[in-house]
Structure 1
Amino acid sequence: MSNEPLMGNSTLYSTYKENQRFRETSSQNITAILPAYNEEVSIGSIVLLTKLYADNVIVVDDGSTDLTADIARKAGAEVVSHGANRGKAEAIKTGFTAAADLGADIIVTMDSDGQHNPADIPNLVAPIIKGNAEMVNGSRYLNYPGKNSPVYCRAGQTMQDTTVKMNFNLKITDMQSGFRAFAASTKGIFRFSGKKTAIENEMLADAGRSGIRITEIEIGAHTIPEAHSRNPAKYIMGALRAITEDVDANKPLYFYSVPGFALATCGFYMGFKFLEAFFLGSASLNFEHTFLMVFLALAGAYMTLRGIIAHSMAGALRQTETV
């Protein structure tokens, strides 16, 4: 990339020179992964800017029907294409494999729509280079918790943060962040399935279970214009759905067994009190009452058993994947 456009802006030129010094003093191979689906408008500039801060830039073209792959390739990225759209989880999995083939020491994941600033990469990878972490989460809310964001956005973010703390025992302030850095040695701990929950959440769950060191750094993020027009009700419902999926996938005992045990207890208690009253002659057989207590007992027992089985199967699956 020519220095000429940078020379016209002292701030950009200063940033460029600082990055050059960073790259000269770091011997780590930094490879950035950009999953992309129909991002022809932004992908070229993102690749060019990212190349200033990374040794390699890999664009995983996830079945795009536009010129995303061609533009990324012309901008200097290594392009890996999926024949059809497989989803973000598969795109990141492909990117991690390609990064390992290129000898990456540190892998950075970024969104390709322009909301992440590649100039944050040096700060993002610094804890890994210094040996203080194996995973770094870029947070938009670490020191600036979105005070100017709409109330419904702050409410949704707070709910999801609470879920992360409960599910993974992690103090993460931006669980949906796609801007992260990983030591290449962590590749084997991630499932990259994205089946029951968003890939960002799944990777946090895998990282939390593995016991690797995780830290956060503050990042800047450009707000995509479409985000301002989203429906508050749909946003809250989406946040609740994400929370439900996370708890279902990662804490089935909480999701099924706890409420199930409560329902079963109510059902059995109602049955006990009814039988007590019936034999004492102070109560007669009532269909609605009988149906309710039987329903509560059976539903509660089913949910309790399902939670125990799901918890056991998840533990066995994790042990199998580790082996």
Structure 2
Amino acid sequence: MKVLVAIPCFNEGLTIGSLVLKARQYADEVLVIDDGSKDLTAEIATLAGATVISHLGCLGKGAGVRDAMNYARDGGYRALVLIDGDGQHCPDEIPAVVAPILSGRADLVIGSRFLETDYDIPLYRRFGQIVLNIFTNASSDYHSTDSQSGFRALSKRALEDLELKSDGYNVESDMLSSFSSRGYTITEVPISVKYEVPHKHKKNPLTHGFGVLTNIIGTIGAKRPLTAFGTPGILIALFGLIISTWGAYRYTQTTQIPFFTISIGALLTLTGLLLITSGLILHSLMALLRNRS
């Protein structure tokens, strides 16, 4: 079937060996992309039987995913399975994740932690995932229950056509946006997850989530300016009108002009109208460019 399992990782010497050994049961080849690790990740992966690509420095997860896609494309693999190297994912679930690809039912399969499962996921992760899901789904035509899952599979057709430019952890969101815009078939399957693993916090969860969210908002602004600018513009303008109306009502009751309240209301209303106008202009420009192309 020519299945490649790829594991982008950084400083995962404690888990990479067992992951490679388990993944080899379900793959024709296991590829480890070592993103400039300072420990023995590359050496252990090699001893466990993996092919290893090593970066001289830390280039980010996006670079690792691109390396995996290029390797799978050049090797003629029918399917590429991506799995995180920290031990959170169970390699025994690889067959379930890759099955829709091998049967021709999907071009992208996402292993979802929130689909037909009930795992002890930390509250802050649930909240962050909900926020990122909302914004990621707004940037794509597919509504995912786990847009940031690193356990996923890609078809040969997608590998031959898709190019990603992501450098960091926003690669998962960018992949969803790119796949949906090209009309690829996307589906999800339930997976398990465990959070009590070594090196579970390589990056601060708050800065990590904020960085991904910033990129997603930028994508929405580029692809759907009317949504990105118009929606908040309407909400801000309505809030400004409510404050201004309250200020006018206070004036009728006291005959004293509430300058501060009215000023804030007017400022918010003006800001909202500017956002709405910007969204309409950018939407019109994008429609014009699409028609010309």
Pick the TM interval, shorter chain.
0.7 to 0.9
Matched, 1:174 2:129: no
Name the structure 2 match of 1:255: 228
Q: Residues 298 and 216 of structure 1: is their aligned pair in 2 closer, same or farther, counting only changes over 3 Å?
A: same
Aligned ranges for residues 78-93 of structure 1 at < 5 Å? 78-93=51-66
Q: What displacement does 1:75 show?
A: 2.1
Aligned ranges for residues 282-293 of structure 1 at < 5 Å? 292=264
Q: What displacement does 1:310 show?
A: 5.9
Matched, 1:200 2:172: yes
Q: Distance in 1 between matches of 2:118 and 2:281?
A: 39
Q: Residues 63 and 150 of structure 1: is their aligned pair in 2 closer, same or farther, counting only changes over 3 Å?
A: closer
Query: Could you tell me which amino acid in structure 1 is paired with residue 49 of structure 2?
Result: G
Q: Residues 318 and 88 of structure 1: is their aligned pair in 2 closer, same or farther, counting only changes over 3 Å?
A: farther
Q: What displacement does 1:166 show?
A: 3.8
Name the structure 2 match of 1:70: 43
**Native 8 Å contact 2:86 2:198 kept in 1:** no
Where structure 2 has 5 or more consecutive residues not aligned to the other structure, the ranges are 248-254
Q: Residues 319 and 172 of structure 1: is their aligned pair in 2 closer, same or farther, counting only changes over 3 Å?
A: farther
Q: What displacement does 1:286 show?
A: 9.2
The share of aligned pairs that are identical, in percent, is 33
Name the structure 1 match of 2:250: none
- Aligned pair partner of 2:187 in 204, 215, 221: 215
Q: What displacement does 1:168 show?
A: 2.5
**Native 8 Å contact 2:60 2:168 kept in 1:** no
Q: What displacement does 1:304 show?
A: 3.3
- Aligned pair partner of 2:75 in 87, 102, 105: 102
Q: How many residues align?
A: 285
Q: Residues 169 and 227 of structure 1: is their aligned pair in 2 closer, same or farther, counting only changes over 3 Å?
A: farther
Matched, 1:54 2:27: yes
Q: Distance in 1 between matches of 2:291 and 2:31?
A: 31
Structure 2 counterpart SS, 1:223: coil
Q: Residues 93 and 236 of structure 1: is their aligned pair in 2 closer, same or farther, counting only changes over 3 Å?
A: closer
Q: Distance in 2 between matches of 1:176 and 1:102?
A: 27
Most deviating of 289-298 and 120-129: 289-298
Q: Residues 50 and 289 of structure 1: is their aligned pair in 2 closer, same or farther, counting only changes over 3 Å?
A: closer
Q: What displacement does 1:88 show?
A: 0.5
Q: What displacement does 1:267 show?
A: 7.0
TM-score, normalization: structure 1? 0.71
Most deviating of 161-170 and 40-49: 161-170
**Native 8 Å contact 2:109 2:186 kept in 1:** yes
Matched, 1:133 2:120: no
**Native 8 Å contact 2:3 2:78 kept in 1:** yes
Q: What displacement does 1:30 show?
A: 0.3
Query: Could you tell me which amino acid in structure 1 is paired with residue 142 of structure 2?
Result: L
**Native 8 Å contact 2:26 2:94 kept in 1:** yes
Q: Residues 261 and 192 of structure 1: is their aligned pair in 2 closer, same or farther, counting only changes over 3 Å?
A: same
Query: Could you tell me which amino acid in structure 1 is paired with residue 53 of structure 2?
Result: V
TM-score, normalization: structure 2? 0.77
- Aligned pair partner of 1:224 in 190, 193, 196: 196
Query: Could you tell me which amino acid in structure 2 is paired with residue 221 of structure 1?
Result: V
Structure 1 counterpart SS, 2:93: helix
Where structure 1 has 5 or more consecutive residues not aligned to the other structure, the ranges are 1-27, 275-282
What is the Cα-based RMSD across aligned positions, in Å?
A: 4.1
Structure 2 counterpart SS, 1:69: helix
